C-alpha cells in the first residue's frame, strides 16, 4: 500500500481488523455471510480497512461515508461493471490488502441556489451535472474563476467530473477521460445545441466554476451531485474539496490509474 496517510503494511503486519458492508443483493449478502464468518466483523471506528461488497453504485455510497476518515476501502465486485471494484475472489484477504495499491480521491463541492433562495451543499466523487427539467433546452452561462467564459450555452445540460468520474457519465457524453495524476477536471456539455460544435474544456483542479441558469421561469434546470438532486436551481458553484479525501485499494496490476488508461483503448 503506497498512501502515506495510511498504515504501511509492507513491514509484515497484516490488516486483520476488517469491517464488511454489503449491497442489498443476493450475491453481496452471500459473500457477507462467508467473509464475516471467516474474518469476523470489526466496528468501522477501529477497523484497518472497510470491505465493500457490491457494485460501483454501492461503492460510491460507501466512499461518501469514509470522506475525511482514516479508513481505506477495498471493493469486491458483486455487481455488474465493477470499475471501482476488485474481482470477487477475496481469498487470503489480509494478504491482498497488504499488497494493494492505493488511489486517493478528492470530491467536488457543490453549492446550488434555488429559485426560492435556498442554498444546498453537497459533495460528489463522480460528477456534478445540470440537466433540463422540461422539454425546453436549458440556457446556461459558464463562469470560471470569476470570468465569464461562455455567455450562453444552449443544451440539455452540462457536467463537471472528477478524474475518477471521467469514465462514467462524462465519457457517455463524449467527454475526455482524465488520468488521476493530471489534476484536471473535464467540463462537458450534454447534447449542446449552440455552440453546436463545442466539446467542452479541461480545467485545472483549482478552478472555481459557476453556472448561472438563464430564463429560469421558462427553462428550469436541476443539479445533481452524485446522490443529491436539487431542482429549480438559478446558480451552481463547483470547486474541488482538496481538504477531503478517501482512499480506494486495488489488487496489484489493477490500479485505478491503469483502469483509466485501459478504458481509453476500449472499443
Q: Is 170 annotated as a binding residue?
A: yes
Q: Kind of pairing, strands 119-124 and 108-114?
A: antiparallel
Sign of the dihedral through C-alpha 121, 115, 185, 134: positive
Active-site option among 3, 8, 33, 56: 56
Comparing 9-106+245-263 with 108-240, is the CATH topology the same? no
The pLDDT score that the predictor gives to residue 9 is 63
Q: What percent of the chain has pLDDT over 90?
A: 76
The pLDDT score that the predictor gives to residue 53 is 95
Q: Is 167 annotated as a binding residue?
A: yes
The pLDDT score that the predictor gives to residue 210 is 98
**Interval 46-72: pLDDT, tens:** 999 999 999 999 999 999 999 988 899
Instruction: Enter the C-alpha cell of residue 34.
Output: 462467508
List 139's β-bridge partners, or say none: 154, 214
Tell me what the mean pLDDT of segment 2-23 comes to. Answer: 73
Residues 220, 201, 165, CA angle at the centre, nearest 5°? 75
- The residue extents of the domains of the chain are 9-106+245-263, 108-240
Which fold does the domain 9-106+245-263 belong to in CATH? Rossmann fold (3.40.50)
Q: Is 262 annotated as a binding residue?
A: no
145 catalytically annotated: no
Average pLDDT over the chain, rounded to an integer: 91
Helix (H) or strand (E) holding 74: strand 73-77
**Interval 65-110: pLDDT, tens:** 999 888 999 999 987 777 889 987 767 899 999 999 999 999 999 9
Q: Given a cut of 80, is residue 186 above it in pLDDT?
A: yes
Confidence band of 265 (pLDDT split at 50, 70, 90): confident
d(CA 94, CA 34): 15
Q: Is 100 annotated as a binding residue?
A: no
**Interval 141-179: pLDDT, tens:** 999 999 999 999 999 999 999 999 998 999 999 999 998
Q: Kind of pairing, strands 108-114 and 233-240?
A: antiparallel
**Interval 202-253: pLDDT, tens:** 999 999 999 999 999 999 999 999 999 999 999 999 999 999 999 999 998 8
Helix H segments across the chain?
26-39, 56-66, 93-98, 169-172, 256-263
Q: Given a cut of 90, is residue 181 above it in pLDDT?
A: no
Instruction: Tell me if the domain spanning 108-240 has CATH number 3.30.70.20.
Output: no
Amino acid at each position: 500500500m503506497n498512501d502515506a496517510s495510511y498504515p504501511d503494511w509492507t513491514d509484515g503486519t497484516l490488516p486483520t481488523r476488517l469491517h464488511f458492508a454489503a449491497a442489498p443483493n443476493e450475491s453481496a449478502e452471500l459473500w457477507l455471510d462467508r467473509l464475516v464468518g471467516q474474518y469476523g466483523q470489526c466496528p468501522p471506528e477501529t477497523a484497518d480497512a472497510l470491505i465493500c461488497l457490491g457494485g460501483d453504485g454501492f461503492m460510491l455510497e460507501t466512499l461518501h461515508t469514509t470522506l475525511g476518515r482514516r479508513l481505506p476501502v477495498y471493493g469486491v465486485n458483486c455487481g455488474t461493471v465493477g470499475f471501482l471494484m476488485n474481482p470477487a475472489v477475496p481469498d487470503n484477504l489480509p494478504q491482498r490488502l497488504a499488497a494493494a495499491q492505493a488511489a486517493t480521491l478528492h470530491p467536488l463541492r457543490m453549492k446550488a441556489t434555488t429559485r426560492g433562495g435556498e442554498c444546498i451543499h453537497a459533495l460528489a466523487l463522480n460528477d456534478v451535472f445540470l440537466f433540463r427539467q422540461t422539454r425546453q433546452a436549458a440556457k446556461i452561462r459558464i463562469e470560471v474563476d470569476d470570468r465569464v467564459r461562455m455567455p450562453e450555452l444552449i443544451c440539455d445540460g452540462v457536467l463537471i467530473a472528477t478524474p475518477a468520474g471521467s469514465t462514467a457519465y462524462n465519457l457517455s457524453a463524449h467527454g475526455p477521460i482524465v488520468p488521476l495524476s493530471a489534476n484536471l477536471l473535464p467540463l462537458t456539455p450534454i447534447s449542446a445545441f449552440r455552440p453546436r460544435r463545442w466539446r467542452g474544456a479541461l480545467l485545472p483542479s483549482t478552478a472555481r466554476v459557476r453556472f448561472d441558469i438563464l430564463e429560469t421561469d421558462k427553462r428550469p434546470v436541476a443539479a445533481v451531485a452524485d446522490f443529491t438532486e436539487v431542482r429549480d436551481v438559478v446558480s451552481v458553484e463547483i470547486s474541488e474539496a482538496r481538504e477531503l479525501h478517501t482512499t480506494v485499494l486495488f489488487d496489484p496490476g489493477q490500479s485505478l490509474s491503469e483502469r483509466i488508461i485501459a478504458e481509453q483503448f476500449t472499443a
